[in-house]
Structure 1
Amino acid sequence: MSTPDVQETIAAVRSACLQYDGHDPLDEAVALALKHHGTDGASVAVADGGFALVRHDELTLAVAPQARRRGLAGRLLTEVAPAARAWSHGDHPGAAALAARRGWRRTRDLWVMRRPTSIPLPELVAPDGIRVRGYRDADAEQVLAVNAAAFAHHPEQGSLDATGLAERMAEPWWDPAGLVIAADADDRVLAFHWTKQHDAALGEVYVVAVGPNAQGRGLGRVVTLAGLHHLAGLGVAEVLLYVESDNAPAVRLYGSLGFEHAARDTHVQYSA
């Protein structure tokens, strides 16, 4: 099957799953890779109503609602390279059953937490010597450095490089004012909160990062709160975020700011 046909099939299955399940079967990294690089470097199998894609040892598999319970997922898996990891966006029971049949273990739970902007926000008060401002082009190198240090053990976010940064900044939602910086008196980037506005009603706490040398000063809360004020000022009705379920300090921080998690808002990673 030609690459355009593969992309069309993936797009159609993605749309059907999103409409039926309420969850996108492609995470942002996979979607951006397809947008900018197509299926280059990936092992791909497609069929009427489904696809499987393996890139960097990670599986993305989706079957449209009308094609489920026919063994299609299992057949697609036999046609792609072996994978070490796979995500189930929305903790789908079909994914759990498939993982059990293959002997894959549930190894990560990624929570979505949400808060309505109707909940009043605390006043933003920055520590002495800290300036909170929007992103400038000259900040790119420092933002990447803070991100790499803060997420050194995070398998997805920690790998962000200049190319990945540029790809995200080329997206329609990019807004330099929405990447909130906490800088010191010498204008060095200590922490940041990158926000995303999905549409008129929905915003996201996209990335919050605090450099290791700036931890313990409350800057995570400062930049998170600054970003929430920014999103509220845009008029969105709700803000969501993604957080590892076992990241207790982050869950406490977000909970203290009015975010809540519902069981249906859980994404699961399985490992071979």
Structure 2
Amino acid sequence: MTSDDIARSVPSRSVETYSALSPEQTEAILELLAEAARVDGQQAVSEQGRLQLRHSVSAGDGGGGREGVSHLLLTAGGQLVGYAQLEDTDPVEAPAAELVVHPAHRGLGHGRALGTALLAASGKRLRVWAHGGHSAARHLAQVLGLTLFRELRQMRLPLTGTELSEPVLPEGVTIRTFVPGQDDAAWLAVNAAAFAHHPEQGSLTQRDLDDREGEPWFDPAGFFLAERGGELVGFHWTKVHAEERLGEVYVVGVRPGAQGGGLGKALTAVGLRHLAAQGLPTAMLYVDADNKAAVSVYERLGFTTYETDLMYRTET
């Protein structure tokens, strides 16, 4: 959510909602997101949201799009100036949204218009991400009557000049890399178990995995699986942001019952050493601020907070 919001009348403004998009609409939205990211210094829509956007193109026969995902396009004077995505797939949590206004069209009430449309579409039961936690986003959340309830930290670690610890694996555990098509089902099961209470990670499906395997950054050589007795007990999936020369601890998970033996720390070390071996100067990761145990582990490894994403929600 990135928008200055001094509400002024824009007579030609309109917001249209789509479940599937044309290739032209998708391209225009991606261009808007790229320009906003260039100006703001970070993406206004998450990786999951961008994947859902790119895979939302209509099949031409009424098909296309993803069930539970809506795209709100705000135009003014016939030009696309704002975009919001609403995902209503969680059976318990309120629908989640992300929104952005083109940097050249901020301060005209477009963010408020998108936010109001999201509130109407969600039945005033809404969660909204503010990536980077900018003051304009905080102000817009206040105007919309939303309250802060989640803080997601991005932490970073210099890989150059940092002595990375050797991984010490629990007895009987071996490490190998992920094989697409062979390990999908087992990984999805362990991921769901390890992140059963995580609102995004724990709900990944085969389609979500397929989407990520189709991305240019996907590299099974950086996707590490820990096994004991032929059964998957943990994993560390790394990611490389080639353009930014940045490695990511994309996700580390340990199956319930296999925790507490140092496996998570060992898997983290395996992935960090892999990223360092690629010559990447920095590693990053995301962690919920209220996950004190994980934050402490990463701080002991040398990670420090780089920036913060905030999520706001309605009171009801």
**Superposition TM-score tier, normalisation by shorter sequence:** over 0.9
Normalized against structure 1, the TM-score is what? 0.93
Partner of 2:177: 134
Q: Which amino acid aligns with 2:204?
A: L
Describe the SS at the equivalent of 1:26. coil
CA–CA separation in structure 1 for the residues paired with 2:225 and 2:156: 23
Letter of the 2:97 counterpart: L
Aligned length: 269
Q: Which residue of 1 aligns with 2:82?
A: 50
Aligned-partner SS, 2:183: helix
**1:208 aligns to what?**
252
Which amino acid in structure 2 is aligned with residue 55 of structure 1?
A: E
- Which of the numbers 285, 292, 297 marks the counterpart of 1:253? 297
Question: Higher helix proportion, which one?
Answer: 1
1:182, 1:4 → 2: CA distance?
40
Take 2:206 and 2:134, find their aligned partners in 1: how far apart are those partners?
34
Q: Which moved more, 1:78-87 or 1:55-64?
A: 78-87
What amino acid does structure 1 have at the position aligned with 2:151?
D
Residues 1:8 and 1:172: Cα distance change in structure 2 (over 3 Å) = closer
Give the equivalent residue in structure 1 for 2:150: 108
Task: Compute the displacement of 1:5 (Å).
Answer: 4.1
Unmatched 5+ stretches in structure 2: 1-15, 59-64, 89-94
Partner amino acid, structure 2, of 1:6: Q
After superposition, residues 192-231 of structure 1 pair within 5 angstroms as 192-199=235-242, 201-231=245-275
8 Å Cα contact 1:88-1:269 kept in structure 2: yes
Distance 1:43 1:196 in 2: 27
The answer to whether residue 61 in structure 2 is matched with residue 33 in structure 1 is no
Preserved CA contact (<8 Å) 1:195 1:204: yes
Contact 2:97 2:128 (8 Å CA) reproduced? yes
Q: How far is 1:43 from its partner? A: 4.3
Assess, with a 3 A threshold, how the Cα gap between structure 1 residues 140 and 4 changes in structure 2: closer, same or farther: closer
Structure 1 distance, partners of 2:226, 2:171, is 12
**Aligned-partner SS, 2:143:** helix
Give, in angstroms, the shift of residue 55 of structure 1: 2.4
Structure 1: runs of 5+ lacking an equivalent: none
CA distance in 2, matches of 1:5, 1:128: 54
Q: How much is the aligned-residue C-alpha RMSD, in angstroms?
A: 1.7
